[in-house]
Amino acid sequence: MDRDRLRSLSNVGCVYTTGNGTPEKEEFMDIIISAAKAELESARSVPPGNRLKTGDIRKISAKIYKNVKGKPVDDVLSVCGELLEQRNRPMGIMAYDFAYRVRKQYNDKTFAVFESWLENYVRGWGDCDDFCIHAFGELICQNTKLAENVIAWTKKEGFWMRRAAAVVLIPSIWHNQYKETHPLRVSDILMADGHYLVLKGYGWMLKVLSTKEPELVMEYLLKNKAVMPRVAYRYALEKMDAAVKRVLMQ
């Protein structure tokens, strides 16, 4: 990283759209991306060809984030967008990490930004879960009315969108906000989804809900036993006590 040049640009705002930024803003963005690439490449070389673990990438992310820390949320999310444009796993993990780090600055524009990322950059269950359990899930917790917008994802063609409709509600369950986000409404819609990763996604959501409302989930599973696919059903009952499991598996 050109540390002296980066330091001289550190007071420049970095809201950036490809082709429309000022030279200073574009240079700041280029330096951040180059620094991230260099750190990732260096980490892969020890040992040679090393596939980086998520924890290692997060350590690099924390180091790179110091260069944008303190900037307005819109600027940081612009950096995230450029990281996502690299379209690779480590850069995506860094983007979602940066987005979570500015969670205290989320505003009424953040949902649209996050939803566009979900549609345009997420493609697998791993990045879906990382994004939804942290940054996007936190946004829903901050404004539970946004859970209404999630319902539309259940009809999307991409399986990751449908999985996200369930997974993004998990943080609200952890924080006892599930009465405001209505997770059973999502599982009702996704009940017979044709993709196994969507079934596992809402099964996971029900499993988390069972730690808060075991009787509610038990009754829900009994009611839907005949129609709920086994992969979702088995995920949902994993946290139940042994006696309840025996009843549910009969």
What is the spatial distance between Cα 198 and Cα 126, in angstroms, rounded to a whole number?
A: 13
122-250 is classed CATH 1.25.10.90? yes
CATH 1.25.10.90 domain residues, the chain: 122-250
Amino acid (1-letter code) at residue 182:
H
What local confidence, expressed as pLDDT, does residue 15 receive?
A: 41
pLDDT at 26: 80
pLDDT in tens, 59-114: 999 999 999 999 999 999 999 999 999 999 999 999 999 999 999 999 999 999 99
Separation of alpha carbons 192 and 188, rounded Å: 9
Tell me which residue of 225, 233, 226 sits closest to 204, measured CA to CA. Answer: 233
| pLDDT for 243 | 93
- The whole-angstrom separation of Cα 102 and Cα 22 is 24
Close Cβ partners of 47 (under 8 Å, ≥ 6 residues apart): none
pLDDT at 49: 65
- Looking at residue 25, its pLDDT comes to 74
The answer to whether 113 touches 77, Cβ cutoff 8 Å, is yes
pLDDT value of residue 16:
37
- Low-confidence stretches of the chain (pLDDT beneath 70): 1-23, 49-50
pLDDT at 22: 55
